[in-house]
Amino acid sequence: MDPHQPNPRVSVVGDLGRTPGGGRILLITAAFVIVVAGMREAQSVLVPFLLSGFIAIIAAPALLFLRAYKVPSIIAIILVILAIASTGLLLGVLVGNAVDDFSTQLPTYQAKLKTLTNDGLTWLSGVGVPVPQEILSKLLDPAKAMSMAAQGLSSLGGLLTNTFLILLTVVFILLEASSFPAKLHRILDNPEQSFVHFDQFIENIKRYMAIKTGTSLLTGIIIYVWLLVVGVDYPVLWGVIAFFLNYVPNIGSIIAAIPALLLALIQLGPAGTAWAGLGYILANNLVGNVIEPRFMGKGLGLSSLVVFLSLVFWGWVLGSVGMFLSVPLTMTIKIALDSNDDTRWLAILLGPEIEDEPSTPGKGGLLKGWRLPYKPNNDE
């Protein structure tokens, strides 16, 4: 090399593009493993910031509404933060008392559930059904479900210690939101084209979070009113749990119903449990199958398999709060993939089941109607 010539600049992106297929996959996999391991180790720091981001997205429409009426930015942000803090404080007082009382009564509930389980197994044996009582009493232990519910409530309650940090981060995110587009405009090579994808990405996330928050709130209110009428203890607590777990489609409503139905079984017996279960069925079918699809559409959904895998993955990476954030995080990734033509096929794979088009050729079997996008290589 001529010492008088400057060293050529190394382009990481260019080198990655010229990496052979196997090496590129290996490099991407290694980077993914490193990022996931780092997130898992930093979950205590990462979780509050992720919550702050989603709270800021939910609060953005209210902020834009106030700005549309010429309210100064700083005053609008203060009003939004006061509304968030007041809502959180009210929920903390109502739910906190219920959680404390529920935790105090937990040993009594566990003992009653154990007795009910043993009575049920004895009855089955009496009518001639062969039941291995020792094995089933260990496998079918509803007391463990109540204990797990209490542990989950305690872990979620631990987030209250980070309330100030979360609210402070939300304030700075909302303050930065107005100047962030101008910064992107300065650093991007083709800002007009990039902003089309960026605006679509942000709008889809805001739309998803707004619709999901509204339907979750409606679900929580219906569950609260229904259980209050039926006579199940702590209806506010079960309504709040139904609100949060409604962010997890398909499985969340089932998880939210288990502790409330077990408590109804202890208090009201089988008939009361049936009435309480009917409320959960009606609420989740009305909201999940009628109202939400009408506003959400098919473009902002996930397949049942992806929902389950994201629940396991984000729960392992970020803990119990990661299970609550699993679907919003996965939806964010899906929306980001869908906003780019090169990665839209991945978003389709993550999405819900789609109906086969009549013109789509299929050879039957598992892959009937599927055609992966193929882009001819100019080098061939």
pLDDT of residue 47: 84
User: Rounded CA gap, 183 and 177, in Å?
Assistant: 10
Distance between first and last Cα of the chain: 34
- Interatomic CA distance for residues 115 and 121, integer angstroms: 10
Give, to the nearest 10 degrees, the angle between helix 73-126 and helix 142-157. 170
Q: With 50 as the cut, is the pLDDT of residue 356 above it?
A: yes
Distance CA 312, CA 308 (A): 6
| pLDDT average, residue stretch 365-373 | 46
pLDDT of residue 21: 59
User: Which has the higher per-residue pLDDT, 287 or 368?
Assistant: 287
The pair of structure tokens assigned to 59 is 């609060």
Residue 234 and residue 307 in contact, taking contact as beta carbons nearer than 8 Å: no
Q: At residue 278, does pLDDT exceed 90? A: yes
Mean pLDDT of 214-234: 92
Q: What does the alpha-carbon distance between residue 271 and residue 275 come to, in Å, rounded to a whole number? A: 6
Joined together, the tokens standing for residue 75 give 């005053």
pLDDT bracket for residue 144 (50, 70, 90): low
Alpha carbon 203 to its chain's center:
18
Mean pLDDT, residues 348-374 taken together: 55
Question: What's the token pair of residue 227?
Answer: 């259980």
CA distance 231 to 267: 9
* Distance, CA of 60 to CA of 53 (rounded, Å): 10
pLDDT exceeding 90 applies to what percent of the chain?
A: 9
User: Sorting pLDDT into bands at 50, 70 and 90, what band is 159?
Assistant: low
pLDDT for the residue 368: 47
Q: What is the mean pLDDT of residues 282-309?
A: 79
pLDDT at 49: 86
Angle at 65 (CA atoms; ends 64, 70), nearest 5 degrees: 90
Task: Give the least confident one: 76-80, 140-144, 319-323.
Answer: 140-144
| Average pLDDT across the chain, whole number | 75
Q: pLDDT value at position 280?
A: 93
What digits encode the pLDDT tens for the residues 175-217?
A: 887 677 777 677 766 666 666 767 777 777 778 888 888 899 9
Whether the predicted pLDDT of 129 surpasses 90: no
Q: Is the dihedral of CA 200, 217, 222, 282 positive or negative?
A: positive
Comparing C-alpha atoms, which of 61, 103, 106, 115 is closest to residue 84? Answer: 61
Residue 355's pLDDT band (cuts 50, 70, 90): low
Q: How confident is the model at residue 222 (pLDDT cuts 50, 70, 90)?
A: very high
Does residue 110 carry a pLDDT above 60?
A: yes
3-state secondary structure the chain: CCCCCCCCCCCHHHHHHHCCHHHHHHHHHHHHHHHHHHHHHCHHHHHHHHHHHHHHHHHHHHHHHHHHCCCCHHHHHHHHHHHHHHHHHHHHHHHHHHHHHHHHHHHHHHHHHHHHHHHHHHHHHHCCCCCCHHHHHHHCCHHHHHHHHHHHHHHHHHHHHHHHHHHHHHHHHHHHHCCHHHHHHHHCCCHHHHHHHHHHHHHHHHHHHHHHHHHHHHHHHHHHHHHHHHCCCCHHHHHHHHHHHCCCCCCHHHHHHHHHHHHHHHHHHHHHHHHHHHHHHHHHHHHHHHHHHHHHCHHHCCCHHHHHHHHHHHHHHHCHHHHHHHHHHHHHHHHHHHCCCCCHHHHHHHCCCCCCCCCCCCCCCCCCCCCCCCCCCCCC
Q: What are the structural domain ranges in the chain? A: 24-180+191-350
pLDDT value at 359 more than 50: no
For 8-40, how does the pLDDT look when each residue is reduced to its tens digit (9 = 90+)? Answer: 444 444 444 455 556 778 888 888 889 888 888
Q: What mean pLDDT comes out for the span 259-267?
A: 88
Which pLDDT band holds residue 103 (cuts at 50, 70, 90)?
confident
